[in-house]
Structure 1
Amino acid sequence: MAMHTDDDPTSSFDDVQRAVYEFVDRHGTATRAELLRSVRVDAGPAHSKPARSGNYTQQTALEPSTLESCLETLLAEGYLTESEGTLRVSVPGSPTELETESGAVTIRTAREPDREGILEAMRTVAQDGSYVVAADLATRLERAPALVRVNGTEDGSQSRMCFAAVLDSNTESETTADAGSGADSDSDSDTDSTPETDPTSADKPDDTRIVGWLHLDVPALDSRSHTAELTVGVVPAHRRAGIGRTLLEHGLEWAREAGYRKVVQGVPSSSETAISFLEANGWEREGVRADHYRLDDEFVDEVLFATWPTDS
């Protein structure tokens, strides 16, 4: 299934444009060489057919001139973007920059090179065990072929959107760690240690200096295609700086523009910081699933939250 928009962005494509666009979307990024090597398009009816089969169409690789003509159109019309030879599906929205005590932080759409840093940030947030949804999401994204998937396909693959909070590589991180979980908190903390797995350490490549994320999953079921499931988190050393709130604004603005009616999130009842954060940002409690988690040999309820971005 595709992202829930009124118009299918591929409806006006010819066969070559659709094949190229879907390949880039499915893999997250692609180069011209990868497209020439991997994309196949119909070449007309085959001259022969295997036994016990119906009519079938022969497929062939793209000619370089055909690919260039296709990319010229997709780039000019804004369906794809290109940076240093790497093609990506265009995603609406402009980056936002925040000045924090740690330095400049940019909130932007996540890119494939961000994957390792985002996974580490999720696992860092999940370390104390209270925000287990972050650990589960990290496991799923580690296996996903693309970090951002704008248009899922009918084979059951899910669409997903991901935003990253990236610390400027030229700034030093000298902040006080917050021992809570989830996103920003207004409460004070007396913990002054940054986890050893903090992905903002100086030996990380610039693109993996991730201090927070927001992820939106789109269910593969048509009956729930109006709903997106959100998770958001900020690593402890960079909380209380507005990063979580700005990530949330980006995610909900994207959901609103994409036409989603409802955004949901479930958090353990033990995650008081995450619950306070969502309630402070206008989310409503919809219910509780009793004993949904087992944490440290104790059963913990899940609190279900929702917001309606099209109403705001």
Structure 2
Amino acid sequence: MKFSETLEFDHEDRKRIYEYVESHGEVDADEARDVLHVDPGGFRHHVAILKRDGYLEEHDGMLRASFDEGTAEEYDVDGIEFTIRPARQEDLAGIVGAIRRVAEQGSYIVAESVADEIDHDEALLRHNEIESRMFFVATVGGEARGDSDGSTGVRPGDEVVGWVHLYAPELDKLAHTAELTVGVLDEYQGHGIGSHLLARGLEWAGSNGYEKVYQSAPSTNEYAIGFLKDHGWETEAVREDHYKIGGEYVDEVMMAVEL
């Protein structure tokens, strides 16, 4: 299922099943059936239709929302081999860890709030009537694999070293915009990983109908601001003394790019 597709259900139980699975990230099929009080025959029927229509997928008895967001892309730059791919539920801990490491210097506050949110949320990816949330990751030390159903998985040892995250509330007046964060661990910077992640995120945003992508950073985060400027982003506004970091007031730089 593409994020740009409207969620439409022709049966209330199918809507309930999708919403339960989507909000939990991954659930045991039998557990979902029991919690939702759907008879076994009806549950199997509804899940089969949701899978057929691209809303759900199933792995080893576990149900998760299905998102058709492209395949893995492999790169070798300066002897560093890495993969850029859509994130999956099992990447949640790795993404939180990577974001916290990048943000630990106190200079990527928006990303830090993203880590807090997903760390307390059961689902990594979201697509419902209220919000959409998508991640792509850069990984090293593992291989992307193609499953028999055409989906992309992760081999053990696949370490998340960077991410790009896009968030969009499902509001008509903001339907053309999405917020983006992107980051790469210090030891993997300088090899084009951030540029590939940013390009993948903007490609996703454009293909899903977004016209503008934005993010904010403290003025002290000169690296992030320079990185975005180098990729065509412009400063839209500056909020003076918006942050207080280490006892000092710091401006917020609000940046955006038109797609």
Instruction: Give TM-score, length-normalised by structure 1.
Output: 0.72
Residue in structure 2 matched with residue 188 of structure 1 by the alignment: none
Identity among equivalent positions (%) equals 41
CA shift for structure 1 position 103: 4.5
Contact 1:93 1:254 in 2 (8 A): no
| Aligned equivalent of 2:140 | 167
SS across alignment from 1:21: helix
Give the gaps of 5 or more residues in structure 1: 40-60, 171-204
Aligned pair partner of 1:217 in 155, 160, 167: 167
Q: 1:4 to 1:32 in 2, by over 3 A?
A: closer
Match of 1:291 among 198, 222, 241: 241
Distance 2:35 2:77 in 1: 44
> Structure 1 CA distance, aligned partners of 2:14 and 2:171?
26
Question: Alignment length, in residue pairs?
Answer: 245
Contact 1:4–1:259 at 8 Å: present in 2 too? no
* DSSP-derived class of the 1:259 partner: coil
Name the SS for the 1:122 alignment partner.
helix
Q: 1:13 aligns with which of 2, 10, 34?
A: 10
CA deviation vs aligned residue, 1:252-285 (integer Å, no higher than 9, x gap): 1221222122211011111111111111111121
Of 31, 35, 38, which residue of structure 1 is paired with 2:35?
38
Which secondary structure does the structure 1 equivalent of 2:210 belong to?
coil
Give the structure with higher Rg (CA).
1
What is the CA–CA distance in structure 2 between the aligned matches of 1:270 and 1:65, rounded to whole Å? 59
- Determine if the alignment matches structure 1 residue 258 to structure 2 residue 230: no
| Residues 260, 300 of structure 1: alpha-carbon distance in 2 compared, 3 angstrom cutoff | same
Residue 136 (1) aligns with residue 136 (2): no
Match of 2:124 among 147, 151, 159: 147
Equivalent residues in 2 for 1:1-312 (5 A)?
Answer: 5=4, 7-10=5-8, 12-39=9-36, 61-91=37-67, 92-101=69-78, 103-153=80-130, 158-169=131-142, 206-207=157-158, 209-219=159-169, 221-309=171-259
Aligned partners of 1:227, 1:299: CA distance in 2, in Å? 29
Letter in 1 for 2:90: P
1:206 and 1:87 map into 2 onto residues whose CA distance is 23
* AA partner of residue 298 (structure 1): E
2:191 aligned counterpart, secondary structure:
coil
SS at match of 2:57: strand
Contact persistence 1:287–1:304 (CA under 8 A):
yes
Partner of 1:176 in structure 2?
none
CA contact (8 A) 1:214 1:230 kept: yes
- What is the CA distance between 1:220 and its match in structure 2? 5.7
Corresponding letter in the other structure for 1:77: D
Residues 159 and 127 of structure 1: CA distance in aligned 2, closer, same or farther (over 3 Å): same
1:62–1:219 distance in 2 versus 1, CA, 3 Å? same
State the SS of the aligned residue for 1:145: coil
Q: Against the structure 1 CA distance between its residues 298 and 102, is the aligned structure 2 distance closer, same or farther, given a 3 Å change threshold?
A: farther
**Rounded Cα–Cα distance in structure 1 between residues aligned with 2:121 and 2:34:** 22
* In 1, Cα distance between equivalents of 2:95 and 2:114: 10
Distance 1:276 1:252 in 2: 18
Show structure 2 runs of 5+ residues with no match: 144-155
The one-letter amino acid paired with 2:116 is T
Quote the offset at 1:168 in angstroms: 2.4
Q: Quick check: 1:81–1:90 contact (8 Å CA) kept in 2?
A: yes
Give me the TM-score of the superposition, normalised by structure 2.
Answer: 0.85
4 and 68 in structure 1: CA distance in 2 versus 1, 3 angstrom threshold = closer
Q: Give the aligned partner of residue 52 of structure 1.
A: none
For the 8 Å contact 2:3–2:127, the answer to whether it is kept is no
**1:4 touches 1:260 (CA, 8 Å); kept in 2?**
no
